[in-house]
């Protein structure tokens, strides 16, 4: 095995494609050398050595020392110096570099090779004593800190005391003799702290630093970072050793960092900062205020401090040309680090620059226009989940924030409004034209109308999959959940946290992207859906195979979804229409009636409302497909709970409240999720399904006449486990379609299918497909029933499961492809075997999750359906899945 790869002088043993072996930094240093760019010579010790080191009780491969010596000699020849030489010493930097950039690893050590003797030689060679001793003191501090574990504050204290005693304020005030004195104090302190003197031998220094890099792969920070970012331990880190160049050799030297384009806007303009007479991390450390690279940026910022363009025009021009070369070569925006030594430019790092979603879109679209990348590449460059950032208002980053509390970032976007503590107040305020934030300890299905009326939702209990979080995401409303430090007093109508009390009517702002709860109205930025976003989405639409539909039942949601590009409705949950004000009473009458006649009377009141809902929905969808699911939830969810509600319903029904309480008790279920719900309702109370079918078909006829674009309704039967169940309900639907067609004197085009959400349905998909015309995978329930766990109760153990790695992902967020996915595959296969043209889709949370969407593409579903605000994400993810 080869353990060491050299680079420099226009060539390299490595290349950009060798990141696994050389780490990101090493591979790109090699690539830049191969491109003939000015890179100080150096070499990379491979990640293989790291792996070997940990597999062999912290020992190095026996050949390593010789390979390092040979590489050092080679670098010395290129640099015209010798490592460890007293008269003409080669100084190096030691830099860690994993495959993926990884904070938590060892910090870089600069100026290694300096000691009490070589510092004098460097001073003479450079003709600059101050520079040499400034470099030495930096080296002692860095090395002692990262290799010997002596905290910086010891050094900072010594330096500060020295400055105070001598009346200095800036580091640049110190002259060579000052640094000599400070260095003496540093060394004495190191000896006391470490119990041994600061190492003077260059080779001992070098191996100390190499050991520290490999050791840092297993430090606590690095381990945590790897766990959070799914980086395997087996990858290991590489070590880069590189000849030093000096940005601290006086006024013609400088060091800086730059992005080849603006990383927050994507504008095609060089963006960066530098410092004259400085080294390494000085620019980002904030010790001095850095200067802008370009004149344009300087003028825009109104800065008095001259730009690089002005002070070192030649080096600047070369730098601009190199940035162009790098972009053209890597075909992506680069983040680079450079140093200028006495007017000569050196490149020290390049990598793909991190950017905001907005910038990512602009860069991808622009680069496609510049001919650097293809459309497909542009599509693949955008992380679909990141689009979320663009679709909601966000808090102006420049705004001041007064933090009240912090909860979970449950649903993105930001909103401001008056605090209200119950849904009735939310609805009343909305009707009066005011904006509110609904604050609850937790929410339940009865809060739906309040959540609809509110601009955003804040809860003090519950996680990312709590009712509030799921519903808010579905509605595309900002939500902060589980803000545990907030105490809500419903009676007094106040919330208190961190010494701040807000009462009903006070203004609060929630940031669903960060989980922050802020006092007052905070300025926001509105989403921009045209321009680069629109163009990239157009490209994505052209290259995807699957259709993207939305889960929507309210006109507002349907409109948003159409605006976001939905191509139909994949799931319209009729029960959500039942919770609306003015309906819930009739629904309760229907449920509590104790015979069919009573139920039919109540249903007759619901029919016109339900029909009107569908007419509106069909008009908005304008001929696009709409899947409507028959009533699904257990009936008790609609029951009156408070005495007031019971009295109201009793009056409407003309019965005694006591009778209602008894009926409610009868409907109580031990396990409603697996209880009297779904098609089981339609089979036992066919009149409910009949009313819904009539509403659907009458609405289809009416909307078709109004718009001239008839909707073809897809009627969906929920929770089917057996073909007989489906057939019984389908017979009622078909009969109703025939009846309505006859009454209206027209034909009605429609289809009847089922939601596949029980394991048995997946297994029996062949039989079910004999009569069902479509399948829609209800993966929320299918996940619950496959795992045998209830989503509403899962928070307590799913969290620990995820932390301990028993589960890699929350199966309600990203589809469990191995288990639940296997059932989907079986159902697809068996369904298609019987009915080759059967229409297949997915609804439920997973329909908006990019990884799950990739799975849907792989099993060949016809469409995915997701909540309105995830439609653009799904369009992009579906395109990426089919490229
Ligand atoms: P990080 O991974 O934290 O960016 P680097 O290894 O890139 O750490 O080093 C940080 C900085 O140290 C570089 O940006 C550069 O300014 C400086 N540096 C590293 N190696 C050298 C070198 N050989 N000559 C001059 N400066 C260097
Ligand atoms: Mg760097
Ligand atoms: Mg379901």
One-letter-per-residue 3-state SS of 646-677: HHHHHHHHCCCHHHHHHHHHHHCCCCHHHCCC
**Predicted local distance difference test score (pLDDT) of residue 468:** 87
Examine the pLDDT at 876 and tell me if it is beyond 70: yes
Q: Which residue has the higher pLDDT, 221 or 832?
A: 832
Query: Which residue in this structure is represented by tokens 């090699």?
Result: 30
Q: What is the DSSP string of 402-437?
A: -EEEE-EEEE--EEEEEEESSHHHHHHHHHTT--EE
Domain boundary among 175, 208, 243: 243
504: domain CATH number? 3.50.30.10
How much is the average pLDDT of 859-868? 96
Q: Is the separation of the CB atoms in 115 and 146 below 8 Å? A: no
Q: What does DSSP say about strands 863-866 and 839-843: parallel, antiparallel, or unpaired?
A: parallel
Residue 537 in any domain: the answer is no
Instruction: Please give the structure tokens belonging to residue 324.
Output: 């162009």
Q: Is the separation of the CB atoms in 566 and 549 below 8 Å? A: yes
Mutate to test the pocket of ligand 1, among 93, 105, 107 (most ligand atoms within 8 A of CB): 93
* Separation between Cα atoms, residue 706 and residue 715, nearest integer Å: 21
Residues recognised as catalytic: 467, 843
Q: What is the DSSP string of 77-88?
A: HHHT-BTT-SSS
From the list 517, 505, 524, the residue with the least C-alpha distance to 417 is 505
pLDDT tens-digit readout, 207-255: 999 999 999 999 888 888 887 777 888 999 999 999 999 999 999 999 9
Q: What residues line ligand 1, using a CB cutoff of 6 Å?
A: 40, 93, 95, 108, 110, 242-245, 255, 280-281, 337, 339, 348-349
Examine the pLDDT at 620 and tell me if it is beyond 80: yes
Residue 431: domain span: 393-525
**In the structure, what pLDDT confidence band is assigned to residue 37 with cuts at 50, 70 and 90?**
very high
In a shared domain, residues 34 and 141: yes
Give the count of domains, the chain. Answer: 4
Residue whose CA lies nearest to ligand 1 atom number 20: 93
Query: Which residue in this structure is represented by tokens 């925006």?
Result: 333
CB-based contacts of 569, cutoff 8 Å, min separation 6: 549, 550, 551, 552, 558, 561, 617, 621, 624, 625, 626, 627, 628, 865
Phi, psi of 281 (to 5 degrees): -85, 5
Mutate to test the pocket of ligand 1, among 103, 108, 216 (most ligand atoms within 8 A of CB): 108
* Separation between Cα atoms, residue 186 and residue 145, nearest integer Å: 12
Side-chain-side CA neighbours of 611 within 13 Å: the count stands at 19
Query: Which residue in this structure is represented by tokens 């790109």?
Result: 28
Residue whose CA lies nearest to ligand 1 atom number 7: 349
Residue 848 annotated as lining a ligand binding site: no
Give distance in angstroms: CA of 845 to centre of ligand 3: 11
Q: Is the separation of the CB atoms in 681 and 578 below 8 Å? A: no
Give distance in angstroms: CA of 349 to centre of ligand 2: 6
Element (H, E) at 734: helix 723-744
pLDDT tens-digit readout, 709-748: 988 999 999 999 999 999 999 999 999 999 999 999 999 9
CA 839 centroid distance within chain: 32
How much is the average pLDDT of 762-790? 96
**Predicted local distance difference test score (pLDDT) of residue 465:** 67
How much is the average pLDDT of 459-480? 82
Q: Is 598 helix (H, G, I), strand (E, B) or coil?
A: helix
**Predicted local distance difference test score (pLDDT) of residue 12:** 97
In a shared domain, residues 473 and 598: no
How much is the average pLDDT of 637-649? 80
The end-to-end CA distance of the chain, in Å, is 37
From the list 246, 267, 250, the residue with the least C-alpha distance to 172 is 250
- The CA–CA distances, whole Å, from 586 to 444, 583, 733 equal 20, 5, 22
Domain boundary among 210, 243, 276: 243
How much is the average pLDDT of 258-278? 92
Ligand 1 atom with least separation from CA of 280: 16
How much is the average pLDDT of 35-51? 97
Domain boundary among 301, 333, 355: 355
Q: Is 551 helix (H, G, I), strand (E, B) or coil?
A: strand
Q: Is 153 left (phi over 0), alpha (psi -120 to 50) or beta?
A: alpha
Q: What does DSSP say about strands 456-459 and 713-717: parallel, antiparallel, or unpaired?
A: unpaired
Q: Is 521 helix (H, G, I), strand (E, B) or coil?
A: coil
How much is the average pLDDT of 355-373? 94
Residue whose CA lies nearest to ligand 1 atom number 18: 280
From the list 572, 603, 574, 600, the residue with the least C-alpha distance to 587 is 603
Ligand 1 atom with least separation from CA of 42: 23
pLDDT tens-digit readout, 335-362: 999 999 999 999 999 999 988 888 999 9
Examine the pLDDT at 285 and tell me if it is beyond 70: no
Strand partners, 754: 717, 775
**Predicted local distance difference test score (pLDDT) of residue 287:** 66
Residue 385 in any domain: the answer is no
Q: Is the separation of the CB atoms in 780 and 786 below 8 Å? A: no
Residue 384 in any domain: the answer is no
What percent of the chain is predicted at pLDDT more than 70? 99
Query: Which residue in this structure is represented by tokens 């995915």?
Result: 864
721: domain CATH number? 3.20.20.60
- Considering every ligand atom shown, identify the ligand nearest to the alpha carbon of residue 758 and give its number: 3
Residue 792 annotated as lining a ligand binding site: no
Ligand 1 atom with least separation from CA of 257: 14
Overall pTM surpassing 0.80 (yes/no): yes
Residue 779 annotated as lining a ligand binding site: yes
Residue 809 in any domain: the answer is yes
Residue whose CA lies nearest to ligand 1 atom number 27: 280
* Separation between Cα atoms, residue 849 and residue 514, nearest integer Å: 20
* Separation between Cα atoms, residue 238 and residue 101, nearest integer Å: 11
Residue whose CA lies nearest to ligand 1 atom number 6: 95
How much is the average pLDDT of 566-575? 94
Residue 362 in any domain: the answer is no
**Predicted local distance difference test score (pLDDT) of residue 508:** 96
Residue whose CA lies nearest to ligand 1 atom number 22: 244
From the list 702, 671, 622, the residue with the least C-alpha distance to 790 is 671
Mutate to test the pocket of ligand 1, among 237, 348, 350 (most ligand atoms within 8 A of CB): 348
What percent of the chain is predicted at pLDDT more than 90? 73
Give distance in angstroms: CA of 345 to centre of ligand 2: 16
Residue 369 in any domain: the answer is no
In a shared domain, residues 229 and 131: yes
- Considering every ligand atom shown, identify the ligand nearest to the alpha carbon of residue 351 and give its number: 2
Give distance in angstroms: CA of 842 to centre of ligand 3: 11
- Considering every ligand atom shown, identify the ligand nearest to the alpha carbon of residue 844 and give its number: 3
**Predicted local distance difference test score (pLDDT) of residue 817:** 96
In a shared domain, residues 781 and 682: yes
Give distance in angstroms: CA of 337 to centre of ligand 2: 6
Residue 810 annotated as lining a ligand binding site: no
pLDDT tens-digit readout, 374-385: 999 999 999 998
Instruction: Please give the structure tokens belonging to residue 587.
Output: 């629904």
Q: Which residue has the higher pLDDT, 449 or 873?
A: 873
Residue 644 in any domain: the answer is no
Residue 248 in any domain: the answer is no
- The CA–CA distances, whole Å, from 813 to 146, 402, 468, 808 equal 40, 32, 15, 11
CB-based contacts of 282, cutoff 8 Å, min separation 6: 255, 275, 288
Residue 573 annotated as lining a ligand binding site: yes
Residue 780 annotated as lining a ligand binding site: yes
In a shared domain, residues 676 and 810: yes
pLDDT tens-digit readout, 644-681: 878 887 887 788 888 888 888 888 888 888 999 999 99
Q: What is the DSSP string of 607-627?
A: HHHHHHHHHHHHHHHTTS-EE
- Complex ipTM, two decimals? 0.97
In a shared domain, residues 183 and 210: yes
In a shared domain, residues 337 and 400: no
Q: Which residue has the higher pLDDT, 838 or 408?
A: 838
In a shared domain, residues 215 and 266: no
269: domain CATH number? 3.30.470.20
Give distance in angstroms: CA of 75 to centre of ligand 2: 21
Ligand 1 atom with least separation from CA of 246: 25
Residue whose CA lies nearest to ligand 1 atom number 11: 280
In a shared domain, residues 238 and 259: no
In a shared domain, residues 409 and 350: no
Ligand 1 atom with least separation from CA of 97: 2
pLDDT tens-digit readout, 133-178: 999 999 999 999 999 999 989 999 999 999 999 999 888 899 999 9
In a shared domain, residues 56 and 153: yes
Residue 161 annotated as lining a ligand binding site: no
CB-based contacts of 257, cutoff 8 Å, min separation 6: 272, 273, 274, 283, 284, 335, 336, 337, 338
Give distance in angstroms: CA of 41 to centre of ligand 1: 13
How much is the average pLDDT of 515-532? 89
Give distance in angstroms: CA of 280 to centre of ligand 1: 5
170: domain CATH number? 3.30.1490.20
CA 836 centroid distance within chain: 38
**In the structure, what pLDDT confidence band is assigned to residue 286 with cuts at 50, 70 and 90?**
low
Phi, psi of 98 (to 5 degrees): -80, 175
Return the DSSP state at 540.
H
Phi, psi of 606 (to 5 degrees): -80, -30
**Predicted local distance difference test score (pLDDT) of residue 589:** 84
In a shared domain, residues 218 and 323: no
Ligand 1 atom with least separation from CA of 338: 16
């Amino acid at each position: 095995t080869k353990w060491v790869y050299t680079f420099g002088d226009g060539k390299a043993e490595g290349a950009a494609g060798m990141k696994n072996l050389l780490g990101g930094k090493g591979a790109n240093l090699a690539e830049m050398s191969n491109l003939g760019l000015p890179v100080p010579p150096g070499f990379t010790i491979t990640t293989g050595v790291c792996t070997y080191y940990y597999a062999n009780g912290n020992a190095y491969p026996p050949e390593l020392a010789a390979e390092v010596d040979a590489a050092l000699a080679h670098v010395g020849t290129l640099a015209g110096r010798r490592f460890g030489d007293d008269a003409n010493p080669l100084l190096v930097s030691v830099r860690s570099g994993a495959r993926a950039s990884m904070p938590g690893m060892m910090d870089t050590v600069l100026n290694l090779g300096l000691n009490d003797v070589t510092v004098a030689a460097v001073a003479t060679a450079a003709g600059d004593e101050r520079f040499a001793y400034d470099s030495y003191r930096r080296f002692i501090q860095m090395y002692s800190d990262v290799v010997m574990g002596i905290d910086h504050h010891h050094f900072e204290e010594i330096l500060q005391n020295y400055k105070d005693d001598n009346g200095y304020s800036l580091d640049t005030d110190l002259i060579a003799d000052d640094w000599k004195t400070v260095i003496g104090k540093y060394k004495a302190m190191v000896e006391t702290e470490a119990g041994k003197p600061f190492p003077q031998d260059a080779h001992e220094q070098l191996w100390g630093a190499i050991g520290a890099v490999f050791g840092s792969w297993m430090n606590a920070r690095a381990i945590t970072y790897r766990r959070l970012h799914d980086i395997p331990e087996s990858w290991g880190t590489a070590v880069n050793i590189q000849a030093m160049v000096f940005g601290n050799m006086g006024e013609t030297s400088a060091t800086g960092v730059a992005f080849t384009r603006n990383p927050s806007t994507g504008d095609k303009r060089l963006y960066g900062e530098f410092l004259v007479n400085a080294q390494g991390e000085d620019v980002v450390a904030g010790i001095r205020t850095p200067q802008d690279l370009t004149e344009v940026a300087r003028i825009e910022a109104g800065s008095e401090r001259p730009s690089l363009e002005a002070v070192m025009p030649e080096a600047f021009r070369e730098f601009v040309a190199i940035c162009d070369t790098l972009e053209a070569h890597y075909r992506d925006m680069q983040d680079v680090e450079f140093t200028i030594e006495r007017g000569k430019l050196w490149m020290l790092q390049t990598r793909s620059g991190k950017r905001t979603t907005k910038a990512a879109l602009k860069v991808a679209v622009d680069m496609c226009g510049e001919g650097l990348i293809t459309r497909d590449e542009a599509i693949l460059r955008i992380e679909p989940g990141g689009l979320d950032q663009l679709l909601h208002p966000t808090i102006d980053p420049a705004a001041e924030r007064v933090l009240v509390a912090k909860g979970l970032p449950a649903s993105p976007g930001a909103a401001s409004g008056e605090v209200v503590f119950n849904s009735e107040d939310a609805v009343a305020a909305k009707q009066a034209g005011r904006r509110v934030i609904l604050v609850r300890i937790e929410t339940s299905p009865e809060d739906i109308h309040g959540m609809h009326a509110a601009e955003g939702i804040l809860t003090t209990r519950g996680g990312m999959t709590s009712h509030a979080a799921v519903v808010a995401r579905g509605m595309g409303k900002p939500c902060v959940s589980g803000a545990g430090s907030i105490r809500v007093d419903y009676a007094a109508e106040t919330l208190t946290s961190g010494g701040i009390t807000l009462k009903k009517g006070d203004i609060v702002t929630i940031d669903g992207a960060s989980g922050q709860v802020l006092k007052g109205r905070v300025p926001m930025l509105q989403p921009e859906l045209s321009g680069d976003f629109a163009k990239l989405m157009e490209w994505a639409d052209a290259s995807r195979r699957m259709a993207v539909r939305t889960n929507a039942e309210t006109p507002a949601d349907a409109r948003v979804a159409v605006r976001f590009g939905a191509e139909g409705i994949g799931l319209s949950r009729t029960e959500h229409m039942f919770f609306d004000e003015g309906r819930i009473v009739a629904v309760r009458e229907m449920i509590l009636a104790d015979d069919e006649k009573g139920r039919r009377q109540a249903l007759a009141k619901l029919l016109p409302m339900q029909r009107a809902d569908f007419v509106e929905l069909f008009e908005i969808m304008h001929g696009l497909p709409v899947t409507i699911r028959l009533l699904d939830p257990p009936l008790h969810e609609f029951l009156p709970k408070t005495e007031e509600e019971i009295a109201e319903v009793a009056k409407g029904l003309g019965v005694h409240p006591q009778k209602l309480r008894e009926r409610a008790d009868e409907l109580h279920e031990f396990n409603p999720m697996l209880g009297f719900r779904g098609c089981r309702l339609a089979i036992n109370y066919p009149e409910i399904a009949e009313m819904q079918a009539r509403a659907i078909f009458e609405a289809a006829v009416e909307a078709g006449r109004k718009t001239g674009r008839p909707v073809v309704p897809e009627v969906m039967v929920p929770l089917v486990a057996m073909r007989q169940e489906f057939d019984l309900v389908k017979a009622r639907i078909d009969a109703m379609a025939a009846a309505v067609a006859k009454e209206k004197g027209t034909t009605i085009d429609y289809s009847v299918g089922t939601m596949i959400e029980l394991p048995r349905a997946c297994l029996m998909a062949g039989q079910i497909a004999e009569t069902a015309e479509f399948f829609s995978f209800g993966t929320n329930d299918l996940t619950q029933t496959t795992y045998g766990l209830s989503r509403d109760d899962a928070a307590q153990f799913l969290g620990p499961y995820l932390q301990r790695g028993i589960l890699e992902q929350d199966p309600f967020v990203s589809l469990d492809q191995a288990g639940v996915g296997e059932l989907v595959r079986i159902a697809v296969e068996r369904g298609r075997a019987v009915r080759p043209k059967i229409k297949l889709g997915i609804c439920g949370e997973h329909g908006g999750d990019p990884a799950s969407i990739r799975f849907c593409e792989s099993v060949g579903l016809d469409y995915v359906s997701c909540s309105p605000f995830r439609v653009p994400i799904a369009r992009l993810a579906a395109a990426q899945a089919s490229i």
